[in-house]
Amino acid sequence: MDDLSNRQHSLFTSTISGDVDGEPTILGQNLTKTATTQSFAWIVGSLWLGRPLKSKKTEAVIDQALRLLVDHGPYVSGAVNTMISARAGKDLVSSLVTGLLTIGPRFGGAVNGAAKIWFESVTNQLSPADVVESFAKRKEYIQGIGHKKYRIAAPDPRVPVLLNLTGKIPHPHLDFALAVEKITTGKKPNLILNVDGALAAILLDLLVHEEKLERDEIQALIDAEFFNAIFVLSRSVGFIGHYLDQKRLGEGLFRLPDDQVMTKG
Ligand code: ACO
Ligand code: LMR
């Protein structure tokens, strides 16, 4: 590890990138060499963890998640916001940011909240029933559970794709999430383990078993909202696609028809 003792004399410190003899580096390795020998998913996971990924399984899940989450139709709130901004004549970054600002506790940004619940519950050996009950008592939604389109009879096709990548690794967080789903779907059919909740559980099991992270390291990732980053990165691809599509279509400013809004007078 480089000596960071002189950091008090520096304006910034970076442990993930730099420059050696005029050549940019990431994680201490030449950038161009890394970019021509490693996958995008490996670079994403390694840069975000601040050190090279240890496991091909982790790389494979990040790669699959990045591809699975690019878009989910022009119906979802974030895409619609980007489309509206594009049709209002806004530029690429402004339209992208409009979509990104929609990502939060209900849409796309529940991965981190679900990771917090699964991690704390498994760490403290809580029962799924007690966790579901505690959320119900507080009238709080369990992050990672529920969907507006999918339900028991019409499951999210993306979830099994991710689950199948866990292979033979121990998966206590996924087991807990599935046990919660079993209870919640007994209450309402749409209270399934959604793709945010599934990704959170799988990432936790990989970070523990494959990446050998300690509990305090995982807690720090939860505190920094690491688990939402994959959805943000991936869905940016879809939002930019919707922006460019709307620019091509040139349909002009969007306005809701009066009869589509309930008003009180
Ligand atoms: N945990 C506990 N109860 C829930 C949850 C939940 N996550 N979601 C809905 N419910 C309950 C509500 O309490 C309500 O119960 P009630 O009828 O007794 O009052 C009932 O289900 C219907 O609630 P709605 O808000 O109308 O359900 P809706 O289907 O609109 O909600 C949503 C879907 C927004 C995804 C919701 O389930 C939720 O906020 N989940 C948590 C956040 C989350 O995981 N979002 C990620 C979605 S997937 C993605 O964005 C990629
Ligand atoms: C998504 O990936 O955008 C969805 O799961 C959310 C939705 O409402 O379809």
- Tell me the mean pLDDT in the region 157-161: 97
In this predicted structure, what is the pLDDT of residue 265?
78
Going from the Cα of 133 to the center of ligand 1, the distance in angstroms, rounded, reads 15
Going from the Cα of 265 to the center of ligand 2, the distance in angstroms, rounded, reads 33
Going from the Cα of 147 to the center of ligand 1, the distance in angstroms, rounded, reads 6
Nearest atom (ligand 2) to Cα of 78: 3
> What is the band of 7 on the pLDDT scale with cuts at 50, 70, 90?
low
Q: Would you say the CB of residue 242 lies under 6 angstroms from ligand 2?
A: no
Q: Would you say the CB of residue 148 lies under 6 angstroms from ligand 2?
A: yes
Tens digits of residue pLDDT in 184-238: 999 999 999 999 999 999 999 999 999 999 999 999 999 999 999 999 999 999 9
Q: Would you say the CB of residue 212 lies under 6 angstroms from ligand 2?
A: no
CB 117 within 8 A of CB 143: yes
